[in-house]
Amino acid sequence: MLKIYRKLTTSTHLFWKMKIKKITKPTFLEEEKLWQTGIDYIIGLDEVGRGAFAGPIVGAGVIFKPNFKYSFLDKVNDSKLVKPKLREELSELIKQHALFYAIETIDISYINRHGIGKANMAAFRKVIKNILRQTKNDLNHFILIDGFHGKYLPGGVSKQKAIIRGDQKSLSIASASIIAKVYRDNLMREAGSEFPNYMFAKNKGYGTLEHRNAIKSNGLTRIHRTAFCHSWYLSG
């Protein structure tokens, strides 16, 4: 009986854990803590395209004014969890109502030369440099970053907080993820017109089965990440 009880308790716990995880949506909880300390410029920072086989990596940053409220925020979430049409609508609303925002890309030549990790950080540095230029380099800022701390960002680690799955917890990070994804998806649709055999408009450069088969049949294009693709090809 005790074993059955423990099994039921564990199952119930896992059920509610999964349910809570499923309905979790980003809020301004992290931002509010910082706003209350007098920090005006809280930058939500995220990237899109890190794991793709082809195309650039795109970083974005968003700053909302303190205690910002607007009904569209109820629909903002991790860009991967938002349907494409709504994502495009939200991207326009975010850019319209943000205090400041920036979108930056790191091209394929940099990625192939330096690797995706360094390219990721380079994208973040470009975003922060762009946003701080808009704020007249005001030092009263703080960075909320999805995942892990960013190397060599202005102010160092003391001016940032890394949040695992931050795009599902912070509205500023989630907003950055949305505008970055919409921007990159549009770039990949354009690439799809130039390289129709690879279906970039559909797979956005990620390593889907159809994309991998296209590489086997047609080879690599100039926008493919050689290290990613060779590693996959050799492991296959």
Residue 236: per-residue pLDDT = 55
Residue 235: per-residue pLDDT = 57
Residue 3: per-residue pLDDT = 46
Find the mean pLDDT for residues 181-190: 98
pTM, two decimals, is 0.88
Residue 143: per-residue pLDDT = 97
Q: Which residue has the higher pLDDT, 175 or 149?
A: 175
The tens digit of pLDDT for each residue in 7-58 reads: 434 444 454 345 445 547 999 999 999 999 999 999 999 999 999 999 999 9
Q: What are the sequence ranges of the domains in the chain?
A: 25-235
Find the mean pLDDT for residues 55-73: 96
Angle between helices 209-218 and 226-235 in degrees, nearest 10: 90
Residue 107: per-residue pLDDT = 96
Q: How far separated are the first and last CA of the chain, in Å rounded?
A: 49
Look at domain 25-235 and name its CATH class: alpha beta
In 3-state terms, what secondary structure has residue 162? strand
